C-alpha cells in the first residue's frame, strides 16, 4: 500500500529557491522569477527564466494545506514536495543574519 510519510532531510536553501514551483489556489508560480499562471499539473520548467522545477510546495499552510500538499505529491511524483512554512522559516532566518552582518 502506498502512503505518504513526512520526512526530514537536509537541503540546500539556495538550490530550493532556484528550482521551486509554488502552487496557489488555481495555478502555480516560479519562486525564482515570480512568473505567474503556470499549470502546476505538468509544467517542467519556467517559460520565463527557464529554470527546471525540482521542488513543489503549496502556499496554503493550514491543515487543508497539508492535504493540498498530499495531492501535489501524488500529482507530481517527479518533484520533491516541501513544506512552505519550513522554507519561509529558513528564509527569514537568513535575511536576519544578512541584516545583522
**Residues engaged in binding Zn ion (CB under 5 A):** 30, 32-33, 35, 46, 48-49
Closer by beta carbon to Zn ion, 4 or else 33:
33
Which phi and psi (to 5°) does residue 49 adopt? Answer: -105, 0
Q: Closest approach of Cβ 70 to Zn ion, in Å?
A: 25
Name the residue nearer to Zn ion (CB basis): 4 or 49.
Answer: 49
- For strands 20-23 and 28-30, give the pairing: antiparallel
Bridge partner residues of 55 (DSSP) = 20, 80
CB of 40 to Zn ion, least distance (A): 13
* Least distance between Zn ion and beta carbon 51 (Å): 5
H/E run at residue 88: helix 84-100
Nearer residue to Zn ion within complex by CB, 66 or 82? 82
H or E element in which residue 9 lies: none
Amino acid at each position: 500500500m502506498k502512503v505518504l510519510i513526512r520526512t526530514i532531510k537536509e537541503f540546500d536553501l539556495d538550490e530550493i529557491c532556484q528550482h521551486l514551483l509554488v502552487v496557489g489556489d488555481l495555478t502555480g508560480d516560479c519562486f525564482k522569477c515570480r512568473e505567474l499562471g503556470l499549470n502546476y499539473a505538468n509544467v517542467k520548467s519556467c517559460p520565463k527564466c527557464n529554470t527546471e522545477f525540482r521542488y513543489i510546495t503549496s502556499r496554503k499552510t493550514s491543515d487543508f494545506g497539508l492535504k493540498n500538499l498530499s495531492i501535489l505529491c501524488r500529482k507530481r511524483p517527479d518533484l520533491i514536495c516541501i513544506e512552505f512554512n519550513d522554507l519561509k522559516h529558513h528564509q527569514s532566518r537568513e535575511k536576519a543574519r544578512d541584516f545583522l552582518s
